[in-house]
Amino acid sequence: MPRTNVTFEIVREIGLALPDVEDSTAYGSPALKVRGKLLACMAINKSAEPNSLGVWIDFEQRAGLLEEAPETYYLTDHYRNSPMVLVRLSRIRVDQLRDLLSASWRFVTSQAQEKRRSSRAAARGNVKTTARKNRPR
């Protein structure tokens, strides 16, 4: 499939088709959020290449993307400790972008669900604690 000149407008169109995604900003840059949580935004840190998109994704998936297509996906030290991959919009195909944003949506919403479950469990006093070894009796 030939490459298309992907812009944030295309990112926005694909992202807004996903459930609960809204048009937003992050640090003054165009962004997409799902239920208030960042999904993707134009990378504005000076370490990022121009016309790069930052996409939230789990570390394992990020490693796979970086290995499979380093001409499209990359990372800088600034983003290394965050579950984010940088995308060269000039190198990604629309079908790849659609798959990436869907994976990001699953990641962000699953993280939010886990936080809600943990909060509810803590409120009910159902927080799991680890048993101590060699506990005095």
pLDDT digits (tens, 9 = 90+) for 22-42: 999 999 999 999 999 999 999
How much is the pTM? 0.80
Rounded to the nearest 5°, which phi and psi values hold at 25? Answer: -135, 160
Is position 49 within any domain? Answer: yes
**Helix residue ranges per DSSP H, 76-130:** 94-124
Number of domains the chain is built from: 1
Residues (pLDDT < 70) of the chain are: 1-4, 112-137
Is position 64 within any domain? Answer: yes
For residue 13, the domain's CATH number is: 3.90.1150.30
Tokens in use for 50?
């121009």
Domain that holds residue 67: 8-124
